[in-house]
Every structure is written in C-alpha cells, then in structure tokens.
C-alpha cells in the first residue's frame, strides 16, 4: 500500500508540472482501478477478521460459562471436603470411644481371668479332690448345712457367670474392633475419592483458563490486524479521492488543450464513463442555476462522509445535495425523506443533469445524489466520501429504482 501511495503521489506531482495528455488520464484511471482492487481485498480481509473475532467471542462466552460451572463444582466439592473432614473428626471420636470401651472390656476380662485363675490355684492347693458333697457333709447342723449349700451354689453360679461374661465381652471386643476397622476404611475411601475429584476439577479449571488466555491472545491479534486493515482502507480511500480529483483536473485540462477553451455558459464538463478508451470528457447541458449546483462540489471531492453533515467539513448524501443547490440560491430539504417528495417526479428516460436520483440502500430512497450526465452522479458516499459514481453498472445500478426528481 505504501509503495502504491508513494508512486501515485509522485506521479501526480510530475503530471501537473507538465502539459497534460490523454494517456495521463488513462494512467490515473489504471491507478484508480488498482487502488479499488486493493481496497476490495482489504475489505475482504476485514470481513474475515470480523467473522473470526465473532467466532472467538462466541467461544470465549462458552469458555466463561464453563469456567463458572467448574468454579461452582469446585466450591461444591470443597464444601463436601469440609463435611468429609467433619465426618472424619466425628469418626475419630467414635473410634476413640470404641477403643476406650474395648480397653474397659479388656480390663474386665483380665480381672475375671485373675479371679478364675485364683480359684483354680486354691482348688489345686487343697489337693484337688475335695468335692462339693464333702463341703456339705461336713456341716455341724442343718442350719450350717443350708448355709454351706447356698455358698456352694453361689460359687458354682459365680464361676459360670464369670465364664459367660468373659465370653460375651470377648465377642463384644471383636465386634467393636471390626466396627473400628470398617469406619477407618470408609474414612480413607471417602478422603481418596474427594481428593481425586478435587484434582480433576483443578485440572479442568487450569485447562479452561489456558484456553481462555489463548482465545484472548488471538482476539487481541485479530483486533490489531483489524485496526491495521482499517488504517490501510482509510489511506486507500484518501488516495482514491485524490486520484478522482486528479482525474477530474486532468480531463478538464485535456479538454482545454483540445478545444482551446474551457466550457462556458451552461455547458458542464464531466468525465465520460461510457466504456470508451479515449477518456475524453463529455459535454452536457444544464439549465439556469442548476449547473452551479452540479459543479459546486468539485472543489471538495474527497471530503469524508459525515452523518448529518451539511457543509464542506463533512457531508452526508442529503446534506450535500441541499448544500449544493443552496450554492445556486435554491432552497430544498436536507433529508432523503424530504427530497424524495420535493419538486417534480420525472421518468428516468427523460433524466437531465441536475435531476435528483434516489437509491434503495438500507431503506427505500436511502441514498440521493445529483445526476451529472452520461450515467454518472455526484454524491457523498460513506465508502468514498464526496465523489462521482457510475449508476449504469455494479452496486449503484442494482440499488437504483428509477426514482428521479427535477428541482425547479
């Protein structure tokens, strides 16, 4: 783009320091075509960049939603871990209580064992052959007999109860120990599962953050590319406007050189765009002050488009048309809606220079310009600023509906 700009600007300085020839106009038109092609390529790249940015923004939205979900899952899991820790503490307390109970049972078992052990020892010391009957028959009287019988019964029952309690407590110890081991296993399993779940969520969280950073980096790169492309398009638009002015100046000088004089009176010289190879201007007739309105914009070709603009500092389409006719002392509305109903509607077959032509762009009669002859009109376009445009082919032909109005 820079090379093109330097070449064309350099060419312009050379052209207008020497007599103008028809082939110079052709060269300028070639340059104009190349710039238009380059602008078209830039706009295509801009469109692709916009599409990629839109896709990235959509992906970022999905990633952000996923991050929110993962964060919520992580919070929930952390709450579960807190609860699990409380459960662990509770289990540890239960285990401690069970261990105390086991210890108490073991003390009782040990005490009973000592009692039984002492009885067996005493029995052995007495010879080991004194039976309960001998104890009973050794009574001095019936009362002593009853007492001894009761004592024997108690001893026998006590031994039986001790043995029974001993067995029951041993079974209870085994049961409590099994319960302790079960709770320890459950505690360990729950902890491993929750820690594994947290690790998985953290991995997913890290992956989402990495994807987000990657997308944000790509978005910044595309935004930078888009900014560069917009700068290129702006520079090319400025250059294109300058070349349009140069072409107009060149064709005017060529006409002066060929005819020995410039157009006078009501004659208006405009660039022919009829497909001929000469690039020579065509002369058309305009009535009264209308010719002033037609040519009023020539010194300001290339003025940037500005919304609601109505002066050479910036025009929109209807603002320029109203201003141009104002230079001819003719007051007309400054909105497309107002202009579309002003003066007299005429057939396109009867169109004359100075007539208003309307185009259906973003809405019916959304754009307006001043017809200058030979299928061309002058107007302020948002893509080129104030410039001449061809309405017999391409975009403007497609948008032209045949609506023409004549200002009187």
Distance CA(253)–CA(240), nearest Å, equals 20
Give the pLDDT score at 120: 57
* Domain end marker among 262, 281, 316: 262
Give the pLDDT score at 32: 81
Give the pLDDT score at 368: 95
Please give the model's pTM, rounded to 2 decimal places. Answer: 0.36
Tell me which range, 4-13, 88-97, 292-301, is most confidently predicted by mean pLDDT.
292-301
Q: Count how many domains the chain has.
A: 2
* Domain end marker among 229, 262, 295: 262
Residue 123 has pLDDT above 50, yes or no: yes
Give the pLDDT score at 280: 29
Q: Are 399 and 383 found together in one domain?
A: yes
Q: Are 123 and 144 found together in one domain?
A: yes
Q: Are 81 and 160 found together in one domain?
A: yes
Q: Give the Å distances, CA to CA, from 401 to 307, 347, 363, 366.
A: 23, 11, 12, 11
Q: Are 268 and 258 found together in one domain?
A: no
Distance CA(242)–CA(213), nearest Å, equals 43
Q: Are 38 and 130 found together in one domain?
A: yes
Three-state SS letters, 277-299: CCCCEEEEECCCCHHHHHHCCHH
Give the pLDDT score at 264: 39
271-282 mean pLDDT: 32
| CATH number for the domain harbouring residue 346 | 3.90.1720.10
Q: Are 377 and 240 found together in one domain?
A: no
Distance CA(324)–CA(33), nearest Å, equals 28
Q: Are 303 and 274 found together in one domain?
A: yes
pLDDT grade, residue 350 (50/70/90)? very high
The rounded mean pLDDT for the chain is: 75
Give the pLDDT score at 321: 95
* Domain end marker among 235, 262, 289: 262
Give the pLDDT score at 6: 36
64-91 mean pLDDT: 78
Domain membership of residue 284 as a residue range: 264-408
Q: Are 33 and 92 found together in one domain?
A: yes
Buried-state track 262-280, b at ≥16 Cβ within 10 A, e below 16: ebeeeebbbbbbeeeeebe
pLDDT grade, residue 9 (50/70/90)? very low
Digit-coded pLDDT (tens) for 141-181: 556 555 555 555 555 666 677 677 767 777 887 887 788 88
Digit-coded pLDDT (tens) for 18-74: 444 556 878 888 888 888 888 888 878 887 887 888 888 888 888 888 888 878 877
Distance CA(170)–CA(116), nearest Å, equals 16
More confident residue, 353 or 126: 353
Give the pLDDT score at 281: 32
Give the pLDDT score at 378: 96
Q: Are 11 and 47 found together in one domain?
A: yes
Give the pLDDT score at 380: 93
Tell me which range, 54-68, 123-137, 138-152, 273-287, is most confidently predicted by mean pLDDT.
54-68
Q: Are 255 and 353 found together in one domain?
A: no
Residue 218 has pLDDT above 60, yes or no: yes
Q: Are 198 and 253 found together in one domain?
A: yes
pLDDT grade, residue 326 (50/70/90)? very high
Give the pLDDT score at 224: 86
Q: Are 379 and 399 found together in one domain?
A: yes
Distance CA(155)–CA(324), nearest Å, equals 134
């Amino acid at each position: 783009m820079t090379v093109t700009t330097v070449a064309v600007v350099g060419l312009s300085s050379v052209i207008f320091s020497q007599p103008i020839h028809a082939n110079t106009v052709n060269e300028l038109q070639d340059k104009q075509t190349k710039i238009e092609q380059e602008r078209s390529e830039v706009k295509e790249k801009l469109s692709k960049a916009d599409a990629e940015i839109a896709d990235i923004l959509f992906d970022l939205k999905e990633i952000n939603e996923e991050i929110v979900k993962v964060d919520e899952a992580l919070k929930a899991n952390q709450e579960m871990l807190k609860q699990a820790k409380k459960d662990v503490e509770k289990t540890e307390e239960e285990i401690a209580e069970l261990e105390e109970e086991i210890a108490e049972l073991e003390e009782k078992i040990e005490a009973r064992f000592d009692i039984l052990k002492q009885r067996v020892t005493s029995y052995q010391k007495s010879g080991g052959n004194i039976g309960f009957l001998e104890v009973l028959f050794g009574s001095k009287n019936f009362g002593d007999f009853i007492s001894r019988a009761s004592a024997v019964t108690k001893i026998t029952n006590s031994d039986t109860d001790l043995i029974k309690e001993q067995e029951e407590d041993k079974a209870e110890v085994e049961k409590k120990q099994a319960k302790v081991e079960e709770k320890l296993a459950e505690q360990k399993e729950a902890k491993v599962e929750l820690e594994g779940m947290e690790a998985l969520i953290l991995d997913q969280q890290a992956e989402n953050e990495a994807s987000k950073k990657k997308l944000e980096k790509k978005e910044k790169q595309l935004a930078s590319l888009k900014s560069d492309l917009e700068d290129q398009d702006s520079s090319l638009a400025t250059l294109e406007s300058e070349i349009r002015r140069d072409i107009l100046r060149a064709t005017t000088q060529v006409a002066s050189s060929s005819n020995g004089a410039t157009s006078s009176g009501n004659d208006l010289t405009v660039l022919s765009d009829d497909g001929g190879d000469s690039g020579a201007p065509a002369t058309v007739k305009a009535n009264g002050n209308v010719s002033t309105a037609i040519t009023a914009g020539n010194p300001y070709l290339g003025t940037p488009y500005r919304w609601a603009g109505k002066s050479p500092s910036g025009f929109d389409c209807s603002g320029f048309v109203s201003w141009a006719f104002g230079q001819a002392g003719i007051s007309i509305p400054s909105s497309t809606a107002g202009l579309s109903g002003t003066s007299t509607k005429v057939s396109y077959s009867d169109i004359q220079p100075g007539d208003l032509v309307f185009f259906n762009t973003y809405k019916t009669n959304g754009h307006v310009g001043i017809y200058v002859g030979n299928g061309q009109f002058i107007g302020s376009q948002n893509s080129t600023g104030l410039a001449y445009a061809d309405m017999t082919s391409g975009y403007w032909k497609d948008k032209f509906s045949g609506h023409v109005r004549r200002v009187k």
